[in-house]
A = this chain, B = another copy of it.
Amino acid sequence: MGGYRGGVPLSPHLPELSALELLVDTARTGSIGAAARIHGISQQAASARLRGVEALVGAPLLLRSPRGSRLTESGTVLVEWAARLIDVAAEVDQGIATLRADRSERLRVAASMTVAEHLLPRWLITVRARQQTAGRSPTAVTLTATNSDRVAEAVRSGEADLGFVEGPTVPAGLRAQDVARDELVVVVAPSHPWTRRRAPLTAQELAATALVAREEGSGTRRVLEEALAAKGLRLTVPAVELTTSTGVREAVRAGSAPAVLSRLAAEGDLGAGRLAAVPVADLDLSRRLRAVWAGSSTPPAGAARDLLAVARSC
């Protein structure tokens, strides 16, 4: 996740998302015409689009017959991949809806970068689905994504109804509830000498190294600092400070220095071998992700309650 290499656009063989949706719906319904109706286009247009997809892919995907269409073997695999892609696209879609600023009645959420990037879109999809199955109309949500400090401020000042933060302590003046756990990992470029270590890193070594770090006020940075402080250590002045985990990842991949990142943010790059994780011996880098709200001691009602419930169950 989030490891887009940049500079290498996707090949022109990748069909458009809408065309893939059409294919998936054709597979589901067993009929091109039915899928066309779902998408609000004519059967002919759908047929042409799907032929276009087949031409792009370079393999037959559908077995057309006078009483419907079935998938070929290649089609089956492609539909499976496409469904996954569309799921992620739906998350982004949901996320985009939260960025739109033109609503009046809405749930205003402020979240730390880590939560906003990696968890919220999925939560929102689930909340929406649950509200719809419960027969309620889905709530409009607006999202502000900053660092944990500013999330706390936004909630305190009433700019946001609900916040999500990381960090070892509950922000002053707010009520909180744990919703998930996360863990920080030390990551380096695959070419970095630390990847060839036998023994795990010690807290002392880590503290003595100039890292690529997030700015002060970020939950990631604070957790690291407090974990080191618990060992009587202080963080060396960072080599670079950046405000996004993308920036941090890119700097690490460029080989400059190690970094400490949320596992959520690093996962994709670790899996793909673009980054390597370095175990740390004597440091507790797990952290809680908390929902926070102002005012009463009980969790908020309405849509905020729904979101909180979904977040806790994931």
Residues of A within 8 A of B (CB): 1-4, 6-7, 9-11, 13-14, 16-18, 21, 24-25, 27-28, 38-39, 56-59, 73-74, 76-93, 95-97, 99-102, 113, 116-117, 121-122, 125-126, 129-130, 143-146, 243-246, 250, 268, 271-274, 310, 313-314
> Which B residues are CB-close (under 8 A) to A59?
99-101
Alpha-carbon distance between A94 and B244 when the two chains are bound, in angstroms: 28
> Which B residues are CB-close (under 8 A) to A38?
7, 9
Contact of A3 among B18, B74, B87, B313 (CB under 8 A): B87
Judge whether A18 and B28 touch: CB under 8 Å: no
A selection of 23 A-B contacts at a CB cut-off of 8 Å is: A1-B83, A1-B84, A4-B87, A6-B25, A9-B38, A10-B21, A10-B89, A10-B90, A14-B17, A14-B89, A27-B246, A56-B96, A73-B145, A73-B146, A74-B99, A80-B113, A80-B244, A81-B95, A81-B117, A84-B268, A85-B92, A122-B272, A273-B310
Judge whether B273 and A93 touch: CB under 8 Å: no
Judge whether B11 and A93 touch: CB under 8 Å: yes
**Across the two chains, which residue of chain B brings its CB closest to A313?**
B273
Alpha-carbon distance between A247 and B126 when the two chains are bound, in angstroms: 21
> Which B residues are CB-close (under 8 A) to A3?
83, 87
> Which B residues are CB-close (under 8 A) to A145?
73-74, 76-77
Contact of A28 among B58, B130, B250, B274 (CB under 8 A): B250
Alpha-carbon distance between A7 and B26 when the two chains are bound, in angstroms: 10
**Across the two chains, which residue of chain B brings its CB closest to A39?**
B9
> Which B residues are CB-close (under 8 A) to A122?
271-272
A86 to B: closest C-beta gap in Å: 5
Contact of A87 among B1, B89, B126, B273 (CB under 8 A): B1
Judge whether A77 and B99 touch: CB under 8 Å: yes
Copies of this chain: 2
Sample of 15 further A-B pairs with CB below 8 A, known A13-B96, A78-B92:
A4-B86, A7-B38, A9-B39, A10-B17, A14-B17, A14-B92, A57-B99, A59-B101, A77-B116, A77-B143, A78-B95, A84-B92, A122-B271, A129-B273, A273-B310
Judge whether A57 and B144 touch: CB under 8 Å: no
A7 to B: closest C-beta gap in Å: 6
> Which B residues are CB-close (under 8 A) to A274?
129
Contact of A84 among B2, B58, B80, B81 (CB under 8 A): B2
Judge whether B92 and A246 touch: CB under 8 Å: no
Alpha-carbon distance between A310 and B314 when the two chains are bound, in angstroms: 30
> Which B residues are CB-close (under 8 A) to A27?
246
Alpha-carbon distance between A38 and B60 when the two chains are bound, in angstroms: 32
Given contacts A58-B100, A73-B144, whether A273 and B79 have CB atoms under 8 Å apart is no
